[in-house]
Structure 1
Amino acid sequence: MKVRVTVMLKEGVLDPQGKAVEHALHVLDFKNVGEVRIGRVIELDIDETDRERARAQADAMARALLANLVIEDFTTEVAG
């Protein structure tokens, strides 16, 4: 089963990469762009047929390894 984990910095945590992209977009004349936040998406193929068990496994993986819970939040989504 395909599961997508999206990891983003928590609100209030400085995002220097997002600031750099925001600045570059303004330089490129995209003046109406506000705050930019950069995150990452991890797609997992989990050998599981039950959607809730697949999601629970992805949540456990995110807590254990994929996200730094001190500065990042995550969401999981089962595809299909």
Structure 2
Amino acid sequence: MKEYKVILYQEGALSSLLLGAANADPLKFSTFLNRYAAQGWRVVTMEKDIRRLYLFWRREAYLVVMEREHDNIKSNFF
């Protein structure tokens, strides 16, 4: 059985306000992904999105779908 998690990663609002736009920092994003990988999560897919901040500024965001093996999930969906 697999367990899934959807995570939104986005840069902080301060860099958007100061610079006009915030792009994802590769080092911070790598650290973010490695933290989840250490817990057994694997990236299935990700989507890049440009989000508006207070109408004038923009910042990059990533929607990350992760999965990992999980044997103790009980099916209570039906």
Q: TM-score, normalised by structure 1?
A: 0.32
Higher relative contact order (CA 8 A, sep 6+): 1
Q: Which is richer in strand? A: 2
Q: Which is richer in helix? A: 1
